[in-house]
Amino acid sequence: MVARPKKFIQTLAWLVTGSIAWPSVSQLAAQALPAQPTAAANAMGALESLESAFTQVAESVSSSVVAIRVESRRKRAAPLGGFPFGEWFGMPEGHDQYRTEHGTGSGVVIRADGYVLTNKHVVENASYVEVVFRDGSHLQGKTIGIDDATDMAVVKVNATRLTAARFADSSRAKPGQWVVAIGSPFGLDYTVTVGVVSAVGRGEMGANEIEDYLQTDASINPGNSGGPLVNLRGEVLGINTMIVGQGTGIGFAIPSNLARVVADQLIDKGAVHRAYIGVGFQELTPDLAKHFGVAGKGGALVSSIVPQSPAEKAGIQAGDVVVSVDGQAIVESRDLLRALLQRPVGAKISLSVVREKKERTIALVTVERPGASLPRASSAPEPKAARDAGRLGLHLEALSKGLAARLGFTGAQGAVVSSVERGSPAEHAGLMAGDLIMEADRKPVAAPADVETALTDGSALLHVRRGSNASYIVLSRN
């Protein structure tokens, strides 16, 4: 059969029926225009969805976020020369002895019957606390408990049927996830900023005794303290607590899991009771992992043992690597801290540790964490006739009784770092003047010569005490 052109078929249809079925205008337009939606429209739709998520989060949490305004009475400095200037100008005696200071912060409702969580530094020493809600209502608050170790506090207001915030599981927080910070920076009530979780498990900031922060680039400013850091489900992921330099985009929040434990104990018991086993620990770096026979594995390296603690009584030793607690894997050192913070005082726990490349199980019972921190050495020794440990920039001297007393080392022996050369391997390893080297390559150090012997091959594993803390350091020429 011969194929007929389309125009011929249409003409034939007109001859037979007297009409032609012409395509409609919409059909012609559909053939002429590209398919919709376009890539630009898809991108805009995604952005609008994200925008909607942020606004919904802010709205859903709004009734749980509060501004906190405080007043405190502080004694004025004595006038120059001790003259009572106030009396000269007709002021009553004692008028100028005290001054009233005002401060602001933020908080989040955690129980419907009037409990608000905030930072300790927001309400500490306050003579008057006022809680301001999103609807504009003001209620006087009373601080019912503070926790120095985490910088947390709970304030109680006389109210019922408040909207309590929902909390997320902060152990699932991941760098890169969206977060919203809500609070009252500079007294500007209910300010919303957006960012991401920049890092998890930040510690050793020197701000508090217990540190396990979420880091975020969501803008946090003075007055945001105590306010929530919220995920896109509207759940509190952390409590904003501090920044590193204003406008740097580096802020920190106390993770929700830790905050909830603290808040519950402050409300129910008036104080926080924490489990304690009496070990100091540090991060297990790749170099340290090689020395302790756990290369390629995670864990927390035990760097010191508190005398008469549960750890010492159970037989845990400095140099042990804790790889699990009650079967829960310890991937990084701060996992050990998190695991202990979740256990009650008096709990029976089982630690799996690696010692001399062999894994063993040690059982112990937790006790209550001591309230006071151990003292730290505040002075460094003056360089004397020091011994040079090779060409590593490390200068040592013997630990005399006088030097031990000056540095606060009791019942210890070893070699003291008298000085460290700038730019040397010793400085890069983190050694400092005043450090006490107790072991070199797992052998006790009685004199500087023992350290020099360990370093003859160009590398040594050093067990170092600095003040009341101890850690392992790998010193190498490389």
Residues serving a catalytic function are 121, 151, 225
* Beta-bridge partners for 73: 100
Concatenated DSSP letters of 430-451: T--TT-EEEEETTEE-SSHHHH
* Beta-bridge partners for 304: 280
HSE (CB half, 13 Å, CA atoms) of 61? 33
110 Rama class: left (phi>0) / alpha (psi -120 to 50) / beta? alpha
Residue with tokens 């620990």: 281
* CB atoms near residue 132 (< 10 Å): 20
How far is the CA of 14 from the CAs of 6, 172, 451, in angstroms?
A: 13, 72, 108
Q: Do the Cβ atoms of 199 and 193 come closer than 8 Å?
A: no
Token code pair at residue 105 = 């912060």
Q: What b/e string do you get for 21-56 counting C-beta neighbours within 10 Å, with b at 16 or more?
A: eeeeeeeeeeeeeeeeeeeeeeeeeeeeeeeeeeee
